[in-house]
Structure 1
Amino acid sequence: MTKKNILIRSAAGFLTALSLTITGCSNFLDINDNPNLAESAEPSLILPSSQAAIAMVVGCQFQIYGGIWNQYWTQNFGNSQYKSIEQYLIQGSSFDRPWSTLYADAMTDLQLIINKSGEARYRQYAAISLLMKAYDLQLLTDAFGDIPLKDALQGESNENYAPHYDPQAEVYDSIFAMIDRAKGWIDPESSFLPGSEDLIFGGDMEQWTRFANTLKLRAYLRLSYVNAAKAEAGIKALGTAGAEFLTEDAKIDYITTGSNNNPLYAELFALGQYRQLRASNTLFKQMQSRNDPRINVYFQLISGVRRGMDQASYDVGPNGSTPAPIFGADPLNEAAATAPVKFISGYESYFLQAEAAARGWLTGNAATLYEQGIQASFDAYNATPGTYITTQVAAFPVTGVEAQVEAIQIQKYFALALNQNFEAWTEWRRTGYPKDFFVKPVTGTLPAGTYPVRFLYPNTELTRNPNFPGAKTITDKVWWDTKD
């Protein structure tokens, strides 16, 4: 039995509890009064539940929306579960569940642990929790825009049932501060290191330092077009400090037994075991045109071939290929139950470094880092690139910062496909690359050339929070999305 499997088996109860309670967590305001979580709860018990809660959102709801809106996959012929998402006909109530999970479940747990940071025996748990809180907040603000922060999670003595929303720029400042604070707490030589209760790194605090640096690099690059000076200064500071970044995936692995399944697999299994998600021609044809060897790893055979289908063309068929089990999207294959949820992948880390180096904000060879990112993606799926990296198709531009950034983002689009869908869609929103891949869905309701660029605020906030800042549409850009 592997170490990761031991980790997941030890958390079986947490995932089971989450599956029973998430749909009942209807109100963000409950985050300050959760009767199931006593203030004295042991961090070793609540850390895995918070990590699993975030993974449930990243690996299921955000994975589905990101995958469809980034045109990685499409609704299959003969079913209708995700038609409204492809048609861009969504409502705020669609986001009640992930909002509640990220706030009421995950962040409540994390804050309970952070509050114990003054005790040496809990400080490493608190460091991990603060980094996970920063990660959680970035998910929320990247998805929804302005979000509650200062008025949220103030504890039982300061309940606030009508939190104000903080501007995205301030949320990002808080994220940077949280990462710095957490790094100051990290001590790999501590006598009180977490073990199997840390589902991501098993208490390896050196890996958590790398996670902190990589998360900070990702966050600063998010500002590259809205506040380049700040992004440059922050990234250069990382370089000056000798920051090391992830070379392996920050992820949770799953197993086939109990309630320890990949969350997307579990969702599709519960929906009747239909292969709802199929290869979109947007991704499929781009990979096919480049002779990308990963196409045979990403998609399964259907009637003896691999094929895509046009985005939102489910009323005319035929079906496209089902994503491979490694992505958790095949409820008819038990192997999909073990697909990991990736928070930050090793190849994403290389691409982030490559972009920072291309911009002159981080030392290192941008071309080398770019190639390492592609190679790491192939390695993750035991695929052989052959001449793919060195051919004209993937060759790194010799000059031109924006041309280099475009090349990096195109390869990131392929590498993050089907496994980090929300992050890939977010990077498209930030950079505009790839700029000519997307097509108007056959039954889409937005004008040609117009695509969703944000999630809607949940209906629970609209109806229950008097300080709700006002409804948005899916075409309203978030703060950092300023590039044409």
Structure 2
Amino acid sequence: MNKNIKKFVFAALVGSVAFTSCNKYLDVNENPNNPEKVEPNLLLPTVEASLSQIVGNQLQVYGGLWAQYWTQAPSSSQYQTIDQYNLKNTATDRIWSTIYRSALNNAEIIINSERGANNYTIGMAYLLKAYTLQVATDAFGDIPLDEALQGATNLSPKYQTQKEVYNSIFESIDKGVELLKGNLGTTPGEQDMLFGGDKTSWIAFANTLKLKAYLRISNVDAATAQAGIKALYATNPTFLNEDVSITFTTTGGNQNPFYTEMVGLKYVQNVVASGTAVKAFAANKDKRSFALYNRLLKADNVTLQDTVAYLEQGDFRGQNTKLVSAPSPVTGANAKNTASAIAPVKLFSIAESKFLQAEAALKGWGTGSVATLYNEGVTASFNYLGAEGLTEYLAAAGKFPTDASKQLEAIITQKYYAMNGFQNFEAWTEYRRTGYPTFLIQSKASILANGEMPQRLLYPNTELTTNLNYPGTKAITVPVWWDVK
């Protein structure tokens, strides 16, 4: 498949996922033409692109509002129910469908394909499966696993516990690495949209994913997390030192998925700057905010001095005349600026990799200098945004604390800043795991009891109405397994 054909397939793929709730284009398991014989290399980009839809669109919105980078724009209403924590089961049908019918099922077809020349692609599919499972279980809690990945014959797959899902994640990572380290297989080349088939990068991806997964369960099962991380470091692992992104073009159908969604909504700006994040940046004299949000303009188009205008989280009622900053197009979330079309969807960032390593070292389970890794994480964030003031920041508000009791908070809080606009779902997930940053507030539009915050997504209506093993709806205030804070 040459590059132009691949772009055409990807464009069709993105358009199909963005504008249909049941992704027939990608649903290979409903294709009667013997799907098991589909070339694995041709399916690999469908898995990667499906992940870009999940992470870069729907979960980007939930994470953006619940991590309080963004809030509902006062002049529109598209995401009011999310900002109100007032969800219905139908809200997550599309996310669930993309996870299972597109990403996981297509990954499973690759995994079950003939071994030999396909080994490297199968190894990559195992790692993409592990990544997708973690996203799914972190969002929903217990989920269908083994019975859900056996084709379309079982319409009522049993749900399995998050602990079982995490065990499957570690198992899939190990199987993927084993195949990638083997000497048998042909790389998929350009059909791999993440690394161009580079095995070394995929192994670094696997190591970083495993580290993240063990840290995610470290509060609920410290013994397993400690043993797993120490075993990982005993292999002298390489971790990601590059962003892992799906990139896009200005061509319709091959654009950033959140921007594509906004195009479909007639270019309405539905999210604006939240005071929670903006005030935290301002208190630290952190100039990254000017790269992440638009500065307001006077009538003569002269920028106001160092101004990002915001709404308090959920304070959208009666604010129709208030001027407020939209997210910068660098995040893909600015409906009025076509530069949003080319914003990447990040599955991992350099900053996240460094902060994960810093936390492992802080716990005594990994190696390296905690302060150095922390500084490298902050530096990676500033460098990516081209923000000014890094040296001053690291010497003042962003300086790594000498007080050991403050160090984990510093690592996670800086991770929060670095993920703004790019890894919103991960930032919200880390907040649930750690309780950091401490400055998040309950949305002013919340329908929940005082002080309550969202802890999970609701299971989709499609499961409620069709799966005989549906475990019952859990309120969004019910923590997932690993969330014991």
Q: 1:153 aligns with which of 146, 149, 156?
A: 149
Aligned to 2:453: 451
Aligned to 1:482: 484
Asked whether the 8 Å contact 1:7–1:202 carries over to 2, the reply is no
Question: What's the TM-score once normalised by structure 1's chain length?
Answer: 0.93
Tell me how large the CA RMSD over aligned residues is.
Answer: 1.9
The alignment status of 1:134 with 2:136, answered yes or no, reads no
Aligned to 1:327: 331
Identity of aligned residues (%): 45
SS of the equivalent of 1:302 reads coil
Asked whether the 8 Å contact 2:455–2:480 carries over to 1, the reply is yes
Greater Cα shift, 100-109 or 380-389: 380-389
Asked whether the 8 Å contact 2:288–2:382 carries over to 1, the reply is yes
Q: 2:419 aligns with which of 400, 413, 416?
A: 416
The alignment status of 1:172 with 2:176, answered yes or no, reads no
Asked whether the 8 Å contact 1:371–1:389 carries over to 2, the reply is no
The alignment status of 1:195 with 2:195, answered yes or no, reads no
Greater Cα shift, 310-319 or 413-422: 310-319
Q: How does 1:38-437 map to 2 (within 5 A)?
A: 38-116=35-113, 118-155=114-151, 159-187=153-181, 192-303=186-297, 304-305=303-304, 306-317=308-319, 318-400=322-404, 402-435=405-438, 437=439
Instruction: Report the CA distance between 1:442 and its aligned residue.
Output: 2.1
- String of CA shifts for 1:361-417, please: whole Å, max 9, x gaps: 1011101000000001111112233334433311212242x4211110110110001
- String of CA shifts for 1:144-164, please: whole Å, max 9, x gaps: 0000111111136xx211100
- String of CA shifts for 1:246-285, please: whole Å, max 9, x gaps: 0101110000113100000000111010111111000000
Instruction: Report the CA distance between 1:61 and its aligned residue.
Output: 0.2
Asked whether the 8 Å contact 2:119–2:184 carries over to 1, the reply is no
- String of CA shifts for 1:434-476, please: whole Å, max 9, x gaps: 12x1123222112332110100000000010010111100100
CA, structure 1 residues 367+193, in 2 after alignment: closer, same or farther (shift >3 Å)? Answer: same
Greater Cα shift, 246-255 or 304-313: 304-313
Asked whether the 8 Å contact 1:188–1:206 carries over to 2, the reply is no
Instruction: Report the CA distance between 1:316 and its aligned residue.
Output: 3.0
Give 1:48's aligned amino acid.
P
Point out 4+ residue stretches in structure 1 off by more than 6 angstroms: none
Aligned to 2:471: 469
Question: What's the TM-score once normalised by structure 2's chain length?
Answer: 0.93
Asked whether the 8 Å contact 2:105–2:151 carries over to 1, the reply is no
Give the whole-Å Cα distance in 2 for the aligned partners of 1:371 and 1:447. 39
Structure 2 unmatched ranges of 5 or more: 298-302
Give the whole-Å Cα distance in 1 for the aligned partners of 2:28 and 2:11. 19
Aligned to 1:3: none
CA, structure 1 residues 43+232, in 2 after alignment: closer, same or farther (shift >3 Å)? Answer: same
Give the whole-Å Cα distance in 2 for the aligned partners of 1:325 and 1:135. 26
CA, structure 1 residues 188+208, in 2 after alignment: closer, same or farther (shift >3 Å)? Answer: farther
Asked whether the 8 Å contact 1:145–1:478 carries over to 2, the reply is yes
Give 2:385's aligned amino acid.
Y
Asked whether the 8 Å contact 2:14–2:257 carries over to 1, the reply is no
Instruction: Report the CA distance between 1:192 and its aligned residue.
Output: 1.1
